[in-house]
């Protein structure tokens, strides 16, 4: 049998001097007895994929709200693409793949229904503001309940928690594995959003800016392959994960183009966003005034958390279809059958 200690020895022997070793983790908030087989980062990965929040990602919007088709990305497929890209980069740099994968799988657990439209909706009505990376950390630290122990939070390692929190925003993860996920997230969404936007007729391939494509590649696979190899080459034996200046410039140019023509456009794929934001804000107002209608697992939190925070937690955890069903239940009259 290969034990946890065997894996830890392998890490010391084969990984880069810049890798995060599982045996040297900063640990968990609540100390636990080590697993005989899995390293701490392998345990974190398993805890995340077995969580309810992870399962809900399959019914949460990535970019296009309620698309009519089976091949558009969801928040779950985006997460899996990020994890795949990130592990390849980690392998190429001889960094810790298990830590990288755990961060990638957990980075979007706090995302709202209806994609960034949902995030904007809650940010507008919740006074402290709403940011999905902070909510993702709250999910793993507090909202998820490990049923077998009936305790709150997944009690993840500090390295995974830091990577989840800082996969976006001004702060950079302190591990190179977290830095990989931060850049893999961008690689994934830039490329798969182009794919989905073309599939949905929002843009045509001919519309894409030629300058960045000349650098990055003409096809989906060409671009990802070039970006991944560029990061490995540019970051090898370096204490930082980065792109080469040429590829970074082309990536940023393509990302900016997507913001203008897809993410912030008035295209048919985005016309439902206003309705989605209104719906979530109305649900938020309703539960502020009717906290007794919240599920019991949220009602019991009122002794330790303010009601505004509880309602935000409840709404952020909804899937698209659950939010629509809840709105229908709350706001629309039921037919009388008497």
Residue 7 reports pLDDT greater than 70: yes
> 198 falls in which pLDDT band (50, 70, 90)?
confident
Residue 268's pLDDT is what?
59
The Cα 179–Cα 186 span in angstroms is 11
The Cα 256–Cα 258 span in angstroms is 5
Let me know if 2 is exposed, middle or buried by CB neighbors in 10 A (0-12, 13-18, 19+).
exposed
CATH 1.10.10.10 fits 4-111+120-270, yes or no: no
* Cβ count near 170 (within 10 Å): 5
Domain range summary for the chain, segments of one domain joined by +: 4-111+120-270, 278-331
pTM for the model: 0.94
Residue 137 reports pLDDT greater than 60: yes
Please, are residues 99 and 107 in contact by the beta-carbon 8 Å criterion? no
pLDDT, tens digit, 9 for 90 and up, residues 38-53: 999 999 999 999 999 9
Please, are residues 98 and 86 in contact by the beta-carbon 8 Å criterion? no
Please, are residues 80 and 54 in contact by the beta-carbon 8 Å criterion? no
> 199 falls in which pLDDT band (50, 70, 90)?
confident
Per-residue pLDDT, averaged over 157-168, amounts to 98
What is the percentage of the chain residues whose pLDDT exceeds 70?
A: 93
> 64 falls in which pLDDT band (50, 70, 90)?
low
304 or 41, higher pLDDT: 41
Residue 265's pLDDT is what?
61
**Average per-residue pLDDT in the chain?**
92
Residue 179's pLDDT is what?
98
Please, are residues 53 and 135 in contact by the beta-carbon 8 Å criterion? no
The Cα 115–Cα 131 span in angstroms is 12
Element housing 122 (H / E): helix 115-125
Q: Tokens 């392959």 correspond to what residue?
A: 225
Q: What is the DSSP string of 177-237?
A: HHHHHHHHHHHHHHHHHHHHHHHTTSS-GGGS-HHHHHHH-SSHHHHHHHHHHHHHHHHTT
Residue 319 reports pLDDT greater than 90: yes
CA-closest candidate to residue 144, choices 275, 75, 269, 54: 54
The Cα 263–Cα 131 span in angstroms is 18
The Cα 163–Cα 176 span in angstroms is 9
Q: 151: which strand partners?
A: 146
Per-residue pLDDT, averaged over 101-123, amounts to 95
Please, are residues 154 and 51 in contact by the beta-carbon 8 Å criterion? yes
CA-closest candidate to residue 113, choices 49, 167, 65, 165: 65
- The whole-angstrom distance between residue 125's C-alpha and the CA centroid of its chain comes to 22
pLDDT, tens digit, 9 for 90 and up, residues 200-228: 778 889 999 999 999 999 999 999 999 99
> 237 falls in which pLDDT band (50, 70, 90)?
very high
> 81 falls in which pLDDT band (50, 70, 90)?
very high
CA-closest candidate to residue 310, choices 286, 294, 328: 294
Please, are residues 25 and 159 in contact by the beta-carbon 8 Å criterion? yes
Residue 80's pLDDT is what?
97
Residue 311's pLDDT is what?
98
CA-closest candidate to residue 309, choices 91, 181, 142, 84: 142
Which of 46-55, 65-74, 122-131, 251-260 has the lowest average pLDDT?
65-74
Residue 145's pLDDT is what?
87
Let me know if 221 is exposed, middle or buried by CB neighbors in 10 A (0-12, 13-18, 19+).
exposed
Residue 186 reports pLDDT greater than 60: yes
* Cβ count near 38 (within 10 Å): 17
Q: Kindly state the greatest CA–CA separation across the chain.
A: 75
Cα atoms found within 13 Å of the Cα of residue 5, Cβ hemisphere only: 2
């Amino acid at each position: 049998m290969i034990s946890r200690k065997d894996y830890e020895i392998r890490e010391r022997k084969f990984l880069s001097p810049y890798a995060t070793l599982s045996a040297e983790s900063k640990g968990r908030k609540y100390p636990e007895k080590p697993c005989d087989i899995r390293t701490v980062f392998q345990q974190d990965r398993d805890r995340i994929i077995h969580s309810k929040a992870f399962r809900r990602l399959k019914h949460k919007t990535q970019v296009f709200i309620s698309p009519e088709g089976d091949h558009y990305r969801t928040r779950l497929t985006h997460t899996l693409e990020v994890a795949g890209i990130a592990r390849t980069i980690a392998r190429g740099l001889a960094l810790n793949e298990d830590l990288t994968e755990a961060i990638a799988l957990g980075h979007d657990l706090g995302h709202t229904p209806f994609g960034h439209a949902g995030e904007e909706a809650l940010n507008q009505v919740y006074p402290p503001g709403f940011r999905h990376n902070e909510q993702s950390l709250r999910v793993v630290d507090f909202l998820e309940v490990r049923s077998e122990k009936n305790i709150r939070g997944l009690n993840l390692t500090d390295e995974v928690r830091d990577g989840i929190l800082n996969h976006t925003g001004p702060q950079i993860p302190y591990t190179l594995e977290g830095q990989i996920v931060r850049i893999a997230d961008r690689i994934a969404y830039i490329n798969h959003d182009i794919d989905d936007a073309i599939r949905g007729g929002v843009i045509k391939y001919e519309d894409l800016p030629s300058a960045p494509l000349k650098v990055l590649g003409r096809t989906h696979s060409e671009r990802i392959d070039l970006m991944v190899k560029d990061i490995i080459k540019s970051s090898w034996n370096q204490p930082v994960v980065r792109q080469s200046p040429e590829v970074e410039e082309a990536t940023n140019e393509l990302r900016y183009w997507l913001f203008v023509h897809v993410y912030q456009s008035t295209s048919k794929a985005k016309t439902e966003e206003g309705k989605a934001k209104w719906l979530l804000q109305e649900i938020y107002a309703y539960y502020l005034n009717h906290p007794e209608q919240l599920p019991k697992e949220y009602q019991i939190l009122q002794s330790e958390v303010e009601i505004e925070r509880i309602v935000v937690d409840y709404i952020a955890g909804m899937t698209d279809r659950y939010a629509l069903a809840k709105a229908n239940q709350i706001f629309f009259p039921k037919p009388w059958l008497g």
